[in-house]
Chains A and B, each alone.
Chain A
Amino acid sequence: MTEVIERLIFSQRKLVVFLFVLATVFLGYQASNMRLDAGFEKNIPLNHEYMQTYMQYREDFGGANSILVSVCDKDGNIFNQNFFDTLKNVHDQLFFINGVDRSLVVSLFSPSTRFTEIVEGGFAGGPVIPADFNSANPDALDLVAANIEKANIVGRQVSNDYSCAMVTAQLLEIDPETGEPLDTLALAGELEKQLRDKYESDQISIHIIGFAKMIGDVADGAKDVLFFFAIAIAITAIMVYFFSRSIMLTVLPLLCSLIAVIWQLGLLTTLGFGMDPMSILVPFLVFAIGVSHGVQMINAVEKQAVSGMGAKKASMVAFRRLLVPGGIALLSDTVGFMTLLVIDIGIIRELAITASMGVAVIILTNLFLLPVLMSFLKLDRDYVKKFEGKESHTSKFWSLIAACSNKGPATVILIVTGVLFVFGFIQSQQMKIGDLHAGAPALHESSRYNQDTFLITDKYEVTVDYISVLVETTPEACTSHSVMKAIDDFQWKMRNVQGVQSAVSLASVAKTVNAGYNEGNVKWQVLPRNQQTLVQAIARVPTSSGLLNGNCSVMPVILFMQDHKAETISRVVDAVKDYRTEYETDDLKFSLASGPVGVMAATNEAVKAAQTPMMAYVFGAVIALCLISFRSLRATLVVVVPLYVVSVLAQALMTLLEIGLTVSTLPVIALGVGIGVDYGIYILSTKSLMLKKGATVQEAYMAALKERGSAVLFTGITLAIGVSTWVFSSLKFQMDMGILLTFMFLVNMLGAIIVLPALSRFLWWRRSE
């Protein structure tokens, strides 16, 4: 079979190269149209129970995708002309940014911001900022200051210390101008350009938070990512040159790996996908996996060339020997990544497509194109000379490592591995789900976005961290005292859960209004039993408040949280679940959940639920392909066991580094398996061949090391050095991934050349010396 393909390809070398050039030109053109693309909804498990509730009521109560703009006065007092002029400009500007839901832009300047006060004759009220407001008049500012107090909006629209005021807006999911999904990154750019650039000054600072701004900042940081990719590629190139001692042999594997990346990006664009900022590392991983296979290829060619073959012959032999192991490794990656499709979160599905496609094209570029290109080279005597003597002095090194297969060292290695595994397993069980820190975890704590988050959390009582529990009951239920009391009781119980900062519902507002109807006397701050009185209180709350729907059959209880750490969220969600098992009836349901934290709660649960199946699928694919190709349970075990230990250790490392398992970090572990599986399969393929020929474990391993070991060792170290530079990235996300990938490149390599032989020593007990 292999020989048929080999003959077919090497007899038409120029045609093959031509076809590849053609494809690369086409896909390269496509890739040049590649754009970054971020959407709120693809980060959400839309079919999760909570998100069903969220989608159902999004029209009534607004979505979770909001933007908060805090305008702050540097002197700490907002009551001056300059501040109010700027605030008005910011409000107007935000109103006109495309993608903003114009009916839901709220600030001091929106007409819905009103105050009510109690006077001898009843109520008096009006907009907080009157129609004839003139910011130049100090008396007008004094009046607004008094109205703000009466309107009871301090902590929400005005900061507690009166140094800032807030403009909030909700974002649409569909762009009203184009009918396409909203371009979140363009919107983030507009926010920066239209608001911060225009209105930030010596006197005024502007702080913007919300998903759109966060992902925009990540995308900006992603430009940095490209720079770090370049560094990693440069380091790899230098290392490959030292390994191959030939410029052409350095250029070709890197070129083929880059072609794989180009194809991947081109295919993505052709299929209509964009690149999500959170998936920006995938092209690099494709490159890395490509390099790993490319180095195996040049290593094999070099070995053949040194033994006296010409370049073409050497390339053909290398192709023949590597097609099967390389193919299995890449195929199991592809299948493994494809299984990520079963996870019902848009961004992970995109990643599954991106990654599996990337790995699949490596089969073409590095297992076919690369040997064909190398067959055109002239590997003359000068080249061969460079490697003379190398064999003899590396042999000593290999025999040292080969000792791993001896009984004593093998026992020690397995014990150490076992201890590490137990330690890692215990640690990995403590891995936290979701975001572990306040602010955006993808960004550094010192980043502008996170600093803005801290400022807003500090100065206001409300943030974007809120969860809505939707109380679903019968139509007109808000006129029933018992329903309203049930909502009020629920709110009070939830308010008392640690991590809930404040809470609001129709019931709590109705109580305040009732006190208002009784001359503002707080002794009347109760839900009236009299239905007419209750209706009178509720009638003052418009549906635009987001506290009731049109026929008040659904009323959210909004819980503002101190933060969105995973444990805070699960504490609150658990409290809701406990409460409803006790108090829920057919006519009164407490449904989770809406609001940004409701979305996070659903995502956390989906990620947690996906974790085990995902690992099962990825390993399932690797195991199945190993079984098919090696036809040996033992061979499969020696490949899979070290891989599994490393993936457990990687989870332990995530626990130690306080990296939570989120939509963006979940696939990393699966990708790590993809990185590691190459090493094991390459080493084992030579080794199992030798074992079949009747060699002892030690002999077989020595042969495998000589043939493939240097490439494995080299690849692991090279890629690890490349990604370790990511620690300096301005994106916290890339820094975290850099640490994790460095760990996985190195430890998987060690697993393949140390643990694999030690394990073989005991699995092929009778064949060992």
Chain B
Amino acid sequence: MKKVIAASLAASLSFTAVADNAFKAPLVKKSLLLDVAATDYAVIVGERGHILLSSDGNTFEQATVPTQSTLTATTIVGDEVWAVGHDAVILYSSDRGKSWVIQNFEPDLQRPFLDVHFFDSEHGIAVGAYGLFYRTKDGGQNWSAERHASLLAPIDLEYLESVREESEEFYQQELNSILPHINRVTFDDGTLYLAGEAGLLAHSDDKGQSWQRYDVDYTGSFFDIKPLDEEAVLAVGLRGNMFVMRNNDNWEFVNTCSTSTLNSILVASDSRVVSLGNNGMLVSATRPLPVSEVDPYANPLDCTPAEGVSKRQVEDKAALVNAAQFNGQTIAVSASGIKTLNLEKE
């Protein structure tokens, strides 16, 4: 019932929103853009429901979109595209991003989706703030909410179990507000990896039905997690922190000497990985990644980065959010719009 109301609300709102968002802003390419996905075409999403499309990586066209909510993530499966964002909005396009419909819109939830992933054109998940976790089995026509208590830190879990003994209703209420933000999900070779708030790194072997939390000696947030090869998984996050896990062993610290939060990982080549962050930071590391014993909370002023790790900032120092290889170029999205990165410099 609630879904029906939400959907009809979405439909009525979308009508006015379409009219509003007919504004094709000259500066849209320089606006706050938050995610890029690319196959043989590229889709970029960002603030105010902006969606940009490109077939060559040089020219970008603004699509007409039935929402003004800020979009935080997008994913492509064949000709189909999904985009998610604030107000729990989920948008769908069946024609490579040219036209869009609203699949979900719940502003009263006051929670944004922060990432989206589709395993195929039918099965997908959208994740976000306070453990927000929606799943679809029919290409997004129906979305159902899930709560994964297994993402909690052991101490929180313990607390919740004690609550549950008192009342199931109170347990659900507490679970709803205690779950950490899920910042990123990455699917690779049957394993779904997850990075989130307050030291949360986890993996799932059943497409996110059940989760195993990793034990990491860091309480800051992680913003991306990505397997580099069969041996190593890399995670990056708050204040330039970078951790690597080899052969499912412990997570080890990689000293970058950057205090800028790292938002995304881009595998530049077999021998190198680049991480993008706030203040226009680009941290480049040679593979295999060098680890060190340094304390992640140490004073950043006297710091020597691990061997093979270097950093530089893009000229305008705008926060770099994500990047994708497309048409022989590296296209990054940032707080000041689209940037073509030259990774040869790293």
Within 8 A of A (CB), among B321-342: 321, 335
* Chain A residues within 8 Å of B183, by CB: 521
Does B259 interact with chain A (Cβ within 8 Å)? yes
Query: A residues within 8 A CB of B114?
Result: 523
Give min CB distance, B75 to chain A, whole Å. Answer: 15
Determine whether the beta carbon of A496 is less than 8 Å from that of B238.
no
Q: A521 near B219 (CB under 8 angstroms)? A: no
Q: Does A605 contact B (CB under 8 A)?
A: no
A139 to B302 Cα, complex, angstroms: 10
- In the complex, what's the smallest C-beta–C-beta distance from A18 to chain B, in angstroms? 75
Interface residues in B242-293 (C-beta closer than 8 Å to A): 259, 261, 263, 278-279
Beyond A519-B221, A520-B261, A525-B335, whether A492 also contacts B112 by CB under 8 A is no
B32 within 8 Å of A by Cβ? Answer: yes
Q: Please name all residues of chain A whose beta carbon is closer than 8 Å to the beta carbon of B82 when the two chains form the complex.
A: none
With a cutoff of 8 Å between Cβ atoms, the chain B residues found around residue A119 in the complex are 239
Q: Which of the residues A143, A493, A522, A528 comes within 8 Å of B278, measured between beta carbons?
A: A522
How far is A527 from B205 in the complex, measured between Cα atoms in Å? 37
CB atoms of B238 and A120 under 8 A apart: yes
User: Smallest distance from the beta carbon of B317 to chain A beta carbons, Å?
Assistant: 7
Contact (Cβ within 8 A) A526 B317: no
Q: List B contacts of A139 (CB < 8 A).
A: 301
**Is A120 a contact of B335 with CB atoms below 8 Å?**
no
Q: Are B27 and A495 in contact (CB under 8 A)?
A: yes
Per-position binary interface string of chain A over residues 505-532, scored 1 when its CB falls under 8 Å from any chain B CB and 0 otherwise: 0000000000000011111111011100
The complex places the Cα of A711 from the Cα of B31 at a distance, in Å, of 69
Q: Contacts A120-B238, A149-B279, A154-B317: A525 and B47 contacting too (C-beta < 8 A)? A: yes
Tell me if B's interface is mostly helix, strand, loop or mixed: loop
A142 interfacial by beta-carbon distance below 8 Å: yes
How distant is the Cα of A428 from the Cα of B183 in the complex, in angstroms? 63
Complex Cα–Cα for A583 and B48 (A):
18
- B103 near A: Cβ within 8 Å? no
Q: Which of A487-507 contact B (CB under 8 A)?
A: 489, 492-493, 495-496, 498
> How close is A569's CB to chain B, nearest CB, in angstroms?
19
Measured CB to CB, the closest approach of chain B to A703, in angstroms, equals 69
Q: Is the CB of A522 within 8 A of B34?
A: yes
A496 near B34 with CB under 8 A, answer no
Choose one: B25, B263, B297, B319; the contact of A496 (CB below 8 Å).
B25
Distance of A489 Cα from B87 Cα, bound (Å): 17
B residues 51-93 near A (Cβ < 8 Å) are: 68, 70, 72, 86-87
* Best-surrounded residue of A118, A520, A521, A529 (most CB of chain B within 10 A): A521
**Minimum Cβ distance to chain A for residue B318 (Å):** 9
> In the assembly, what is the distance between CA of A495 and CA of B108, in Å?
29
Check B72 against A523 for contact (C-beta < 8 Å).
Answer: yes
Smallest CB–CB gap between B106 and chain A, Å?
11
Q: Would you call B239 and A522 a contact (CB within 8 A)?
A: no
In the complex, chain A residues whose CB is within 8 Å of the CB of B317? 149, 154
Alpha-carbon separation in the docked complex, A525 to B197 (Å): 17
Task: Say yes or no: A523-B23 contact (C-beta < 8 A), given A120-B238, A120-B239, A154-B317.
Answer: no
For the complex formed, measure the closest distance between the CB of A479 and the CB atoms of chain B, giving whole angstroms.
Answer: 15
The listed residue with most B CB atoms (<10 A of its CB), out of A139, A495, A521, A523, is A523
In this complex, the member of A493, A498, A519, A522 whose beta carbon has the largest number of chain B beta carbons within 10 angstroms is: A522
The verdict on A118 contacting B110 (CB below 8 Å), with A522-B321, A523-B321 known, is no
Residue pair B321, A118 in contact (C-beta under 8 Å): no
Q: With a CB–CB cut-off of 8 A, which chain B residues contact A85?
A: none
B100 on interface, CB distance cutoff 8 Å: no
Say yes or no for A117: interface residue by CB 8 A criterion: yes
Q: Is the interface of A mostly helix, strand, loop or mixed?
A: mixed
Residue from A120, A142, A146, A529 within 8 A of B107 (CB atoms): A529
Indicate if the CB atoms of B261 and A519 lie closer than 8 Å.
yes
Q: Which residues of B contact A493 (CB under 8 A)?
A: 23
Q: Chain B residues near A521 (CB, 8 Å)?
A: 183, 221, 223, 261, 263
- Contact residues, A370-416 vs B (CB, 8 A): none
Contact, CB under 8 Å: B72 / A143: no
B31: chain A residues at CB < 8 Å are 492
Known A-B contacts A492-B48, A496-B25; the reply to A118 vs B223 at CB < 8 A is no
Q: Does A523 contact B25, Cβ atoms closer than 8 Å?
A: no
CB contacts under 8 Å to B, within A149-183, are: 149, 154
B190 interface hit (Cβ, 8 Å): no
Contacts of A118 in B (CB 8 A): 238-239, 261
Closest to B219 in A: A120
Measured CA separation A521–B197 after assembly (Å): 11
Q: B112 contacts A529, CB within 8 Å?
A: no
- Interface code B42-54, partner A: CB below 8 Å = 1, 0 otherwise? 0000011000000
**Please, which residues of chain A bring their CB within 8 A of the CB of B263?**
521-522
In chain B, positions 295-324 with a C-beta closer than 8 Å to chain A are 297, 301, 317, 319, 321
What are the residues of chain A within 8 A of B139 when measuring CB–CB? Answer: none
Interface code A573-617, partner B: CB below 8 Å = 1, 0 otherwise? 000000000000000000000000000000000000000000000
Contacts of B220 in A (CB 8 A): 120
Residues of B within 8 A of A520 (CB): 238, 261, 278, 319
Other-chain residue from B108, B279, B301 in contact with A143 (beta carbon distance below 8 A):
B301
Please name the residue on chain A nearest to B114 by beta carbon.
Answer: A523
Residues in A with CB closer than 8 Å to B107 are 529
Contact with A along B182-225 (1 / 0, CB 8 A): 01000000000000010000000000000000000001110100
B110 and A522: CB pair below 8 A? no
Minimum CB distance partner of A529 in chain B: B110
Q: CB-CB < 8 A to B319: which residues of A?
A: 520, 522
Distance of A171 from chain B, by nearest CB (Å): 33
- List chain A residues, Cβ under 8 A from B279: 149
Give bound CA distance, A387 to B87, whole Å: 98
**B32 and A525 within 8 A (CB):** yes
How far apart sit A25 and B325, CA to CA, in the bound complex (Å)? 87
- Of the candidates A117, A496, A525, the one whose C-beta lies within 8 Å of that of B26 is A496
Report the separation of the CA atoms of residues A146 and B26 in the bound assembly, to the nearest whole angstrom: 34
CA distance A520 to B297 in the complex (A): 17
Chain B 103-135 near chain A by CB (<8 Å), digits 1 or 0: 000011010101000000000000000000000
A120–B68 Cα distance when bound, in Å, is 32
Query: Nearest Cβ in chain B — how far from A174, in angstroms?
Result: 41
Min CB gap A183→B, angstroms: 42
Measured CB to CB, the nearest residue on chain A to B25 is A496
A462 to chain B, nearest CB (A): 15
Q: Scan residues 529-573 of chain A and give those whose CB is less than 8 A from a CB of chain B.
A: 529-530
The 8 Å CB contact of A529, one of B87, B221, B297, is B87
B301 and A523 contact, CB distance less than 8 A: no
**Which residue in chain A gives the minimum CB-CB distance to B199?**
A120
For B238, the closest partner residue in chain A by CB is A519
Is the pair B321, A120 in contact by a Cβ cutoff of 8 Å? no
Q: Residues of A contacting B223 with CB < 8 Å? A: 521
Chain A stretch 114-149: residues in CB contact (< 8 A) with chain B: 117-120, 139, 142-143, 146, 149
User: B1-39: which residues lie under 8 A (CB-CB) from chain A?
Assistant: 23, 25-27, 31-32, 34
Q: What's the least CB distance linking A115 to chain B, in Å? A: 12
Q: How far is the CB of B13 from chain A (nearest CB, A)?
A: 13
Q: How far is the CA of A117 from the CA of B259 in the complex (A)?
A: 10
Query: How far, in whole Å, are A44 and B143 apart by their CA atoms in the complex?
Result: 61
A117-B259, A520-B278 in contact; A530/B110 too (CB < 8 A)? yes
User: 11 additional contacts, CB 8 Å, given A142-B301, A492-B25, A523-B34?
Assistant: A118-B238, A146-B301, A496-B25, A519-B238, A519-B261, A520-B238, A520-B261, A523-B112, A523-B321, A525-B335, A526-B86
* Chain B residues close to A by CB (< 8 Å): 23, 25-27, 31-32, 34, 47-48, 68, 70, 72, 86-87, 107-108, 110, 112, 114, 183, 197, 219-221, 223, 238-239, 259, 261, 263, 278-279, 297, 301, 317, 319, 321, 335
Between A and B, 24 residue pairs with Cβ closer than 8 Å are A119-B239, A120-B220, A120-B238, A139-B301, A142-B301, A149-B279, A489-B68, A492-B48, A496-B27, A498-B26, A519-B261, A520-B261, A520-B278, A520-B319, A521-B183, A522-B32, A522-B34, A522-B263, A523-B70, A523-B114, A524-B112, A528-B110, A529-B107, A529-B108
